[in-house]
Amino acid sequence: MFTLIKLIQSLFGALHSEGTPGQLAAGIVLGAFLGLTPLFNLHNAVVFALLVLLNVSFAGGLLGWALFVPVGFLLDPLFDWIGHSLLLAPSLRGLWTSMYNMPIVPLTNFNNTVVLGSLVFALLAAVPLFLLLRWAVARYRVTVGERVRQSRFYKAVTASKVYNVYKLFRP
Amino acid sequence: MSERLRIFRWRAIGPLLVLFVIAGILWWLFADTIARRESQKVGTQILGAQVEIQKLHLDLRHGKVLINGLTIASPHEAFTNLLQADELVADIDVVPLTEKKLIINRIAANGLRFGTPRATDGRVAATSGDGIAGRVLAETREWASQFQIPVLQLATGKVSIDSLDPRRLSTIPAATALGARADSSHRAWQAAFDSLRLGPTLDSASAALERLRHARATDLAALNEARQAIDRLKRARDRVTSLERNVTQGATILKSGLAGLESARQRDYAFARSLLKLPSLDAPAIGAAVFGPSAIRPFEQVLYYTQLARRYMPPGLLPRASTGPSRVRRAGETVRFPKQRALPAFLVRSAELSFLLQPTSEQPRRYAGRLTGLTSDPALYGRPTAFQASGPQLAAGAMLDHVRAIPVDTAGATLGGITLPAFDVPGVPLKLDPGAATTQLGFTLNGDTIRARFAVRSTNVRWTRDSGFTNSAIGGLIWQAVSGISNLDVEARLSGALQHPDLAVRSNLDQAIASRLRAVLGEQVAAAEKQQRDRVDALINDKVGPVRARVNEVQNQAQAQIAQQRARLDDLQKQLEQRLRELTRIRLP
């Protein structure tokens, strides 16, 4: 229940933050990386660092993460297939062999079919997802955003103490 | 404008660094626990049996790993450990860890103990069947199950007979097929015979003969006609000869079909005999029945570890996929990419082992062993994995040579003075306690060819019998046959292609048990065998008899038809030639 409230708070918080639609979309896209790929991998430390360091919506990142975790689970067979096809492609064997025998790179688990497949999928989906989200957020703010801001439900959600914690990280 | 161009959130660097520092501190605090859990998880996954570690300490600064209380359960036996170790100290190369490669320069293992009991079932592959270990275990079990060793059923002294299912007899379908073949041959021969069109030839020859009878020597037209008729008769006879050849060949095939029916009948007799649940009373079969199941087990276990080694240490440098790490998300497959002149993913350069055998006995014996070159990429390491151990009454060695394309795995061990566990003789409530015995094992798996030998020798065998066996007359006789024998000499040999090797088991008890069984059960077995043969005959004679008659009929009919026509052709030709000779003979005045 707490997670759900937090998710709704994140959603409203992000949609009505002072950040631009681009910042929010970029945050969600970075969060999508965390959700789509298996979490405990080195590349996700980099993604998390980018989420914190870049001037993107951190709440959007959390929202993207929460939204894309189930998508990741659902698409795991597809990621497995993509990763399998890439890792066992004869034309790419030289590249993978070089990467596998470099320092640090193997710690990313790139040689796992699900990790590589999901990462490639996330990279390919990043730009279209960013453009789509930026357009959607802008449309939302222009159309129904102000009415939602005035609603009792929104006021109740944002009045919660958890929202105050969120505000520390808003863009 | 400047606000919109701001890309970095500089004020977040501090908290991020703090976060990373906290993560570092947490890792430092829990590294031992994480490494211990991961080692347990990976070890369990690789071996297919529970791996437990009491304590693990990482000292990366000095490149040392210390493990206390290592327990590895047996993948085959429920409440037995494969080994336990008091302490393992490993010297590792730290730099290759950045490439996710574990290079252990030296391991010192102290206080190794084998076959100790455990409280819980530590088998993982056997219960879950997952992963490489699960698949290998299933394969080796299936491999072992191919050795259909007949089990002695002597507990009651009665010969048990399973019901005979006619569908499992091979003679009936063979007879049906032969009957169909006879019919099709008959049709084919009749068609060939009709296509000879002998009627017109015979009619024209008869007409020519009739004209010739009334002709004179100067009637050249009649003479020519007769000669042409003879030519036609000769050609017709050639065609008949050709057909006869075909019929003879077909008849030979049908005869071999009849012989095949007899072979099928013999096979059915053997099958029906196997339902008696009694092995042959020949000595070698007795050896296989008594000791076969126990002899297969060591081969199965060694094969399991050998096949595991082949999966985890494959030859060559091609990419290798294996099951990925277990996690909430799909594990996927992890592919390794070995590279020439690079380090292997895993390597133990040298391990020194100090171990105890029979640790629970009053005077456990100490042994020393050495393992070298255990690696995940033998082609990169360039040398085979070797193991040797020695000590009082022990000599053991193994070599896993996966450096070349065709792997060769060999193992050999001789162990003396070890008390083997007592085991039940299959099918007989009789227990054999080999006592302190000398055990030998030799095993070679060269590519897909196996050659293995397992032998047990003991001079103080003890036999015990169940109380239920006391009242059995046969039990008493078997007991008399074996109870006085204190020497045991069993040898099992396995050779041939790995998928279907030949197993031969012999022991010094074979002859004694076989002769006693023959004396006691010979008549009963013979009567039961006759009964089974009669049952087989009753089931198949109804099918085989008509088919045999049909084959003979078809064959005789075709041959008679050919003989008859050939006789007519010959007769006409002979008459024509004789008449021609009469007309063309020069008569001197």
All residues at 6 or more sequence positions from B422 whose CB lies less than 8 Å from its CB, including other chains: B431, B432, B433, B434, B462, B464
* Residue B533 Cα, gap to closest chain A Cα (Å): 58
Which residues fall within 8 angstroms of residue A5, CB to CB, at 6 or more apart? A157, A160, A162
- CB-CB under 8 Å, A49 with B337: no
Cα separation, B232 vs B204, in Å, equals 9
Nearest by CB to B324, from A40, A99, A112: name it.
A112
Strands B102-114 and B346-357: parallel
CA distance B90 to B58: 10
d(CA B385, CA B312): 13
Residues of chain A contacting B336 with CB distance shorter than 8 Å: 100, 111
pLDDT band at A163 (very low <50, low <70, confident <90, very high): low
Rounded to the nearest 10°, the torsion over CA B306, B307, B313, B314 is 130
Contacts of B8 in chain A (CB under 8 A): 53-55
Which of A55, A77, A88 comes nearest B7 by C-beta? A55
Q: Which residues of A touch B333 (CB under 8 A)?
A: 80, 83-84, 112-113
Give pLDDT tens digits for A39-79. 888 999 999 999 999 989 888 898 899 999 999 999 999 99
B220 — contact with chain A (CB < 8 Å)? no
B392 touches chain A (CB under 8 A): no
Distance from CA of A82 to the nearest CA of B (A): 11
Specify the pLDDT at position B156: 45
Which of B4, B331, B337 is opposite residue A97, by nearest beta carbon?
B337
pLDDT at B413: 93
The answer to whether residue B55 neighbours chain A at the CB level (below 8 Å) is no
Interface residue of B22, B327, B333, B376 to substitute, partner A, most A CBs within 10 Å: B333
For B337, name the nearest residue in chain A, comparing CA atoms only.
A97
Task: Say how far apart CA A117 and CA A80 lie, in whole Å.
Answer: 6
Q: Is B258 left (phi over 0), alpha (psi -120 to 50) or beta?
A: alpha
Distances in whole angstroms, Cα of residue B195 to Cα of each of A108, B189, B293, B567: 82, 10, 64, 18
Which residue is listed with tokens 């099928």?
A: B264
Q: For chain B, what percentages of helix, strand and coil (3-state, to nearest 5) are there?
A: 50, 25, 25
Q: What is the pLDDT of residue B1?
A: 42
What is the Cα–Cα distance from A119 to A110, expressed in whole angstroms? 9
Residue B333 near chain A (CB below 8 Å): yes
Amino acid at B155: A
Q: Which residues contact B583 (CB under 8 A, 6 or more apart)?
A: B212, B215, B216, B217, B223
Per residue in A11-49, pLDDT tens?
777 777 778 889 999 999 999 999 999 988 899 999 999
Task: Confirm or reject contact between A72 and chain B (CB < 8 A).
Answer: yes
**Which residues of chain B make contact with A80, given a CB cutoff of 8 A?**
330, 332-333
Q: Which of B99, B102, B323, B380 to mutate to test the interface with A (most CBs of A within 10 A)?
A: B99
Which of B8, B335, B338 shows the shortest C-beta gap to A55? B8
Name which of B335, B341, B346 to mutate to probe chain A: the one with the most chain A Cβ atoms within 10 A of its Cβ: B335
Q: Any chain A CB within 8 A of the CB of B327?
A: yes
Q: What is the three-state SS of B212-226? A: HHCCCCCCHHHHHHH
- The count of other CB atoms within 10 Å of the CB of residue A114 is 30
Residue B123 DSSP one-character state: B
How far apart CA A9 and CA A157 sit, in angstroms, is 6
Q: From the list A49, A72, A103, which residue is nearest B99 (CB)?
A: A103
Q: Give the span between the Cα atoms of B253 and B248, in whole angstroms.
A: 9
Rounded CA gap, B404 and B415, in Å? 31
Q: Do A106 and B99 touch (CB under 8 A)?
A: yes
Cα–Cα distance for residue pair B218/B375, rounded to 1 Å: 106
- Count the neighbouring beta carbons within 10 Å of the beta carbon of residue B539: 18
Report ipTM for this prediction.
0.81
Contact B133, B453 (CB under 8 A): no
User: Token pair for residue B48?
Assistant: 């297919």
* pLDDT score for B155: 41
CB contact under 8 A, B16 and A96: no
Q: How does DSSP classify residue B469?
A: G
Specify the amino acid at residue B349: R
Conformational region of residue B48, where left means phi above 0, alpha means psi within -120 to 50, and beta covers everything else: left
* Residue A59 CA to its chain's centroid (Å): 10
In the predicted structure, residue A96 carries a pLDDT above the cut 90: yes
Q: By 3-state DSSP, what share of chain A in percent is helix, strand and coil, each rounded to 5? A: 80, 0, 15
A81 in reach of chain B (CB within 8 A): no
SS3 B368: strand
Question: How many whole angstroms separate alpha carbon B587 and alpha carbon B589?
Answer: 6
* Beta carbons of B319 and A93 less than 8 Å apart: yes
Q: Does B333 sit within 8 Å of A80, measured CB to CB?
A: yes
Contact A96 B335 (CB under 8 A): yes
Q: What is the Cα–Cα distance from B58 to B104, expressed in whole angstroms?
A: 13
| β-strand pairing of B423-424 with B64-73 | unpaired
pLDDT means per 10 residues, chain B with 589 residues, are 66 89 92 93 90 94 93 91 92 92 92 87 81 90 78 49 75 90 90 85 87 82 87 89 89 90 87 68 68 84 94 90 85 91 93 78 79 94 93 90 94 86 71 86 94 91 72 64 81 91 84 71 74 86 88 89 88 88 68
Helix (H, G, I), strand (E, B) or coil at B531: helix
pLDDT at B360: 65
Which of chain B's residues have a Cβ under 8 Å away from the Cβ of A20? 4
C-alpha distance from B11 to closest chain A C-alpha (Å)? 8
Q: Is B93 on the interface with A (CB under 8 A)?
A: no
Q: Measured between alpha carbons, how far is B196 from A17 in angstroms, rounded to an integer?
A: 103
| Amino acid B509: pLDDT | 79
CB contact under 8 A, A104 and B98: yes
Token digits for B171? 């003679």
